[in-house]
Amino acid sequence: MRQSMTGPLKAICLIAVLLFSSAAHAQSRWSDAAPLPSPRQEIYAITYNGMIYTAGGIADGASAVRNEFNAFDPRKDLWLELSDLPAPRHHITLSALDGVIYAVGGFSGGFPNWKPETSAYAYDLEVGEWKTLPALPVARGEHVSLTAAGKIYVIGGRVGETPNAAHYKDHRDTSRVDVFDPNTQTWSRGTDAPTARNSAASAVIGDKIYVVGGRQYLEQPNGDAANVNVASLEVFNTKTGLWSRKAPMPKVAGGIAATALDGRLYVFGGEQWTPTKEVFANGWVYDPSADAWESLPDMKTPRHGAAAGGIAGRIFVFGGATETGAGDVAVNEVLAVQP
């Protein structure tokens, strides 16, 4: 007859598991991979069919807006240059479905003249060409987008206070969700997220969308506005249509990079503007089954505005910036993780 473990035995087993896990991560180290073809920050990535894709970004002290579209082959440690975006964009998000890469929203213009855009594009990987999709219902940037349940979900970010808002201070954070159906080529409203935020990160695990970290542009006691980081992790269940809150990040950060691998959520880097200006090298992994976070080895290069992708037990974090708002790099670092 099988007997259950006693309290002390359970505690001993739990400690052993935690020590083993910590030791495994301690043995992991970041190494260098092929750098981006050019330095840039404020980029997102999508992992699809063994490749990692990224597009756009800003460079040269956040003054130059990029239109490059690249794919990284981790097996060959090689970047490929694909057809440029139809227009330069930064904070443009990528999703993938049925052989198509979707690039949605983002800003045009260098800082502080960031104009949120309604543009949406689709890149057919077989044909190698972009086409224009029906426009987003609301122009936005610093959002996240993901593919789940056969649709593209666009979540949060910043939208203009007025239709022609073209300056960073003219934007506001939103919790709005818009959903694109590739079959009907139409947009519809989704269920708004619990938290309005920008510069968050996200990933899909199973039938759930995970949105974590980011920041809110809030008025301070002195009357000035500042970006204040948030740590919340919110999960959208595409089957039930409901949002739920889970364990927050151990350290608040905005401008983070995230990816999913083997059923877990990985988050890296980020920055803060207040109370002090800092750029982070931290790495974290979230286990949905335990609703718990665990630390990972710090990246070699502290960065925000970078992108991440995970394939076959390895996570690549590339691009980003080493100073708050500036210092764009082409760095690409890789971490081998335990399954």
The stretch 173-182 carries a mean pLDDT of 98
Separation CA 193–CA 205 (nearest Å): 17
**Residue 209 falls inside a structural domain:** yes
Residue 118, C-beta contacts closer than 8 angstroms, at least 6 positions apart: 105, 135, 136, 137, 138, 139
Dump pLDDT digits (tens) for 85-100: 999 999 999 999 999 9
The overall longest dimension of the chain from CA atoms, in Å, is 72
Dump pLDDT digits (tens) for 127-163: 999 999 999 999 999 999 999 999 999 999 999 888 7
**Residue 290 falls inside a structural domain:** yes
Q: Residue 339 has what pLDDT? A: 67
Dump pLDDT digits (tens) for 191-248: 999 999 999 999 999 999 999 999 999 877 777 888 899 999 999 999 999 999 999 9
Q: Whole-model pTM? A: 0.90
Dump pLDDT digits (tens) for 248-307: 999 999 999 999 999 999 999 999 998 999 999 999 999 999 999 999 999 999 999 999
Which of 184, 182, 165, 183 is closest to 174 using CA atoms?
Answer: 165
Which of 323, 300, 318 is closest to 308 using CA atoms?
Answer: 318
- Per the structure, the count of domains in the chain is 1
CATH code of the domain covering residue 241: 2.120.10.80
Range of the domain at 313: 32-336
**Residue 160 falls inside a structural domain:** yes
Dump pLDDT digits (tens) for 53-72: 999 999 998 889 999 999 99
Give the dihedral of Cα atoms 151, 247, 269, 103; nearest 10 deg. Answer: 10
User: 3-state class of 83 per DSSP?
Assistant: coil
**Residue 4 falls inside a structural domain:** no
**Residue 112 falls inside a structural domain:** yes
**Residue 2 falls inside a structural domain:** no
Sign of CA dihedral 311, 329, 106, 189: positive
Contact 156, 200 (CB under 8 A): yes
What confidence tier does 315 reach under pLDDT thresholds 50, 70, 90? very high
130: phi then psi, degrees, rounded to nearest 5: -90, 150
Contact 86, 69 (CB under 8 A): no
Residue 158, C-beta contacts closer than 8 angstroms, at least 6 positions apart: 116, 140, 141, 142, 143, 171, 172, 173, 174, 198, 217
Paired sense of beta strands 264-268 and 257-261, if any: antiparallel
**Residue 14 falls inside a structural domain:** no
| Other residues' Cβ atoms within 10 Å of the Cβ of residue 60 | 13
Separation CA 89–CA 54 (nearest Å): 12
What confidence tier does 2 reach under pLDDT thresholds 50, 70, 90? very low
β-sheet bridge partners, residue 235: 210, 244
First and final C-alpha spacing in the chain = 32
* DSSP for 89-101, written as a single string: -BS-EEEEETTEE
**Residue 286 falls inside a structural domain:** yes
160: phi then psi, degrees, rounded to nearest 5: -75, 140
